[in-house]
Structure 1
């Protein structure tokens, strides 16, 4: 057994990022009132596997969206992202040309890889395990869940639609991959809903506090930047390793609230954990700019609410 001195000491910040706390401080610092209340449950549903994975159909559920060139730029600060949108659940043929992107404002744009799709959508490793006979098949479609701050909307509108899609494709088990903080909550709520409906699930996520606070049946935690919860970029071995961990979790979880942490490290330096939504790392000018943008967003949201009430 290695001695403590041989293992070395980690810096205080080298622990899972407290995203709820970080997000609360960030928005309070920008002048927002009434911090967001995150979903929290004590009881957690749990559906054991009904048949072996080599006889099961897997559904992949994402909060990323297919890129649409007709909508123009869709990155951070793009007009498309700034406009009000009503994002509906969708399913898309899994064999079509895949250009699935993470355009969320709330991902770690400084540290996450924005190009390697397998970092947030593990289709390639899923196909490889099918070839190995480990899994019967991946469903003919993949499924998109909206990132919705309204927990009621997710549970009463979006989740039933996704469940109907999964049942139409005879999906037995589902892997859910979130990106931003609210994505982690939405996918956690959906996992709970699907388990109650008899579909076994596992969440592959990077926001440990949000997922565990909500309460899910099975959670594979990777201590990676938001947006890259599935694997390290351009690293096939990490894709396959984490995906196999997710499959084993489906098979072996003894009870709800089972969390497994991937042993994979994002980097040898944990400094990236200090960047996300950390006002202490921003200049006064940058904070002023963000506060101005926040005020514009509040005005826009207020106008949308008033217009909807008047219509």
Structure 2
């Protein structure tokens, strides 16, 4: 098949997306014809062999004819204007098959507050918290930053990935600093209670034909908060399969599949949990997770006997036109 791989994007995860796109493109070259497109931080679309159009609108117009010539779009763009369903919506309008979730699942999954509401409606446990608008930062007091939660809190942008803007607040004087940092990435800020538990990720894939299944869970072992620096500086340890009892494994898998279905995900999605003595607590959902061979999702599927090349190929073959 002719596959258009899109990387980059207009958000803080630009470099991470470039790495995912490069790995995906290289993997697909063994069995497919690959065309690569990059979206700059300013929103300009570029493709090898084509002159730069100069503006986001003109550059996108120049790429549109390519959509009529390819079989599948692989949007390896994490974060806003990519993972949030924007690129899936473009493919839906063009009637082109796309790897991953459609616009609705992408938009809800990117919004951590909306994800929590869906999870609760589906019967899953989530951390207590509230949303603060950037305009309210000066009015938020440490004692009133959350509902009946004692102790430290986690502050994070409602819609951002790779833990950008995430901070742990232990003292009153730290709250405003953390809120302002989160506001750099989204005007809506989530303030949550700190959950004590093991950090366990579960990846779910929906294969061609509609069958979906969960890979062996992965445990993240890090000192302190698993923030952006810890994610990419090599200090975190990933253990897969995670050491779990049969009941813990079943509970996590059941919760991951429940959330995958509740959002209407497609392709692959990563569900992040805290495993507590009372069971799993959903942290967040990634509908276009990191996809280098060293990323968490490929590691989980490797533990199930699915190689990186096979995983990427399966995602391409399972691609559908969103909404159909």
Q: Which has the higher contact order (CA 8 A, sep 6+)?
A: 1
* TM-score, L = length of structure 2: 0.31
Instruction: Give the alignment's TM-score, normalised by structure 1.
Output: 0.32
